[in-house]
């Protein structure tokens, strides 16, 4: 099932990106901050990027594809020995975006399905002791606002809830994106 979800999400993103020059409604680039939690445990992934593209299918409805990446790494020295660990999360998905019209802003809501790929590694004294990865299905719902800067360029702020269907009890993600959106074909 995970291969099917991953393939479907990748095809959605590739289709959107390949159609960009001719008919894209908009493309967004931004910084992403993500908080992951699983049961009582949680941690922040403070380094991240988000890219999404939307193609109109109606006056306020668009098909959207999104790819984002987050990373967290830590290193410490314990009793004179270096200990390093890092975790990366790459998510790709496709879905729909509804965009409202209001004076001076464009609020929007996204619903996406796709997959998240986790990869982690750990080293003790420079020797790799952990190297694992997994890919799990995900569902995301969220929204934000686009504030026009001039022409077809806007500043965006977005907040999302993401459920990642990991093998155990699942993982919740809350993420914030701040960036810029470029419109085409307007």
Average pLDDT in the chain: 87
* Three-state SS letters, 91-151: EEEEEEEEECCECCEEEEEEEEEEEEEEEEEEEECCEEEEEEEEEEEEEEEEEEEEEEEEC
DSSP 3: H
Between CA 167 and CA 98 the distance in angstroms is 32
pLDDT, residue 15, reads 52
Q: What is the mean pLDDT of each run of 10 residues along the chain (186 residues)?
A: 53 50 74 92 94 93 96 89 92 96 90 96 85 94 94 94 91 97 80
Q: Which pTM does this prediction carry?
A: 0.82
Which residues lie closer than 8 Å to 165 by C-beta, 6 or more apart? 136, 137, 138, 139
pLDDT, residue 7, reads 56
pLDDT, residue 19, reads 47
Structural domains in the chain plus CATH codes = 2-183 (2.40.160.20)
pLDDT, residue 20, reads 46
pLDDT, residue 128, reads 82
pLDDT, residue 25, reads 81
6-46 pLDDT per residue, tens? 555 555 555 545 544 444 489 999 999 999 998 888 999 99
pLDDT, residue 22, reads 44
Between CA 79 and CA 58 the distance in angstroms is 62
pLDDT, residue 8, reads 52
């Amino acid at each position: 099932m995970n291969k099917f979800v991953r393939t479907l999400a990748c095809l959605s993103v590739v289709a959107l990106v390949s159609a960009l020059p001719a008919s894209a409604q908009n493309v967004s680039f931004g910084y992403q901050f993500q908080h992951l939690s699983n049961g009582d445990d949680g941690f922040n992934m403070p380094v991240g990027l988000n890219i999404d593209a939307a193609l109109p299918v109606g006056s306020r409805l668009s098909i959207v594809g999104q790819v984002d990446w987050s990373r967290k790494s830590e290193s410490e020295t314990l009793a004179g020995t270096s200990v390093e660990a890092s975790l990366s999360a790459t998510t790709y998905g496709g879905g729909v975006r509804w965009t409202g019209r209001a004076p001076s802003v464009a609020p929007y809501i996204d619903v996406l399905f796709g997959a998240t790929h986790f990869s982690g590694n750990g080293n003790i004294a420079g020797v790799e002791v952990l190297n694992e990865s997994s890919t799990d299905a995900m569902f995301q719902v969220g929204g934000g606002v686009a504030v026009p800067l001039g022409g077809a360029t806007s500043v965006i702020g977005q907040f999302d809830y993401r459920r990642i269907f990991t093998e155990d009890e699942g993982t919740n993600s809350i993420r914030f994106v701040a960036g810029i959106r470029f419109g085409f074909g307007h």
